[in-house]
Amino acid sequence: MSDDVFRKDTSAAPRGYASWEAAGLLWLAEAEPDGGARVAEVLDVDLDHLDLRRYAPAPPTNVQADELGRALARTHAAGAAAFGSAPDRWPSHGYLGPADEPLPLPLQPTPTWGAFYAEQRILHTLRMGRERGLWADETAPFEAVAQRLHAGEHDDGRPPARIHGDLWSGNVLWTRDGAVLIDPAAHGGHAETDLAMLLLFQGPHTARIIGAYDEAAPLADGWPERVGLHQLHPVMLHAVLFGGGYVSQAVQIARRYA
């Protein structure tokens, strides 16, 4: 295999996982000609692996962080058919989590973000947690958050964004030419979800990235107060996968928005 190729082994993942990830990368890449964020180039897809272009890592600069913020705003602006819509070339639900143990990610087109996030993220992950013995006596805060979401309290009228879906700092690869996004769980969602993920596991220049984003596409009033709401799902997912302090952290976040 060429040194320019990175082969991601997906043999331990459910059948089709490589195609799911490839579909997300290709969908996000459609925004690149209009100034969207760069994503890893897909070279080949098979049942047990995904071949991507290999990129040499390099320390990020302030200028590159600003560029990523502006570019991410353009990617989000490319839009999606609905909240919960899957990437083009992908006909079903997706996955989220490590490649050796990805969890199912519901993708059902939904008219409002609140209804989508309540049912397909909070309540879905709550059910997975309950199946693993989590939150047996602590379901009320999660259900209360879901009820408020269903009621539209956090809907802002903005159209669905084309989001990466798992944009923690480890999925931003910095190179000499700037940032390259990897390992997406791409779908139609709320732009603040990607920004909240950057803040959950902070990497280099997070504040600059978000500041440049806000200049390019001003965020809705009060967005800092909603960061925890958008972080609730990934924290719940980490609790299901890894347990530990994530279990109580998820409850604490839910109580803030219940």
Residues catalogued as catalytic? 166
Question: CA nearest 204: which of 76, 66, 96?
Answer: 66
Q: In the numeric block, which tokens belong to residue 172?
A: 């931003």
3-state secondary structure of 164: coil
CA distance 127 to 114: 18
Answer whether 51's CB lies under 8 Å from 7's CB: yes
Asked if 26 contacts 111 with a C-beta cutoff of 8 angstroms, the reply is: no
Cα distances from 55 to residues 1, 44, 71, 140, 172, in angstroms, run: 15, 16, 19, 46, 12
Sequence-distant (6+) residues with CB within 8 A of 109 are 81, 82, 83, 84, 85, 188
The answer to whether the beta carbons of residues 80 and 187 sit under 8 Å apart is: yes
C-beta of residue 88 within 8 angstroms of C-beta of residue 24: no
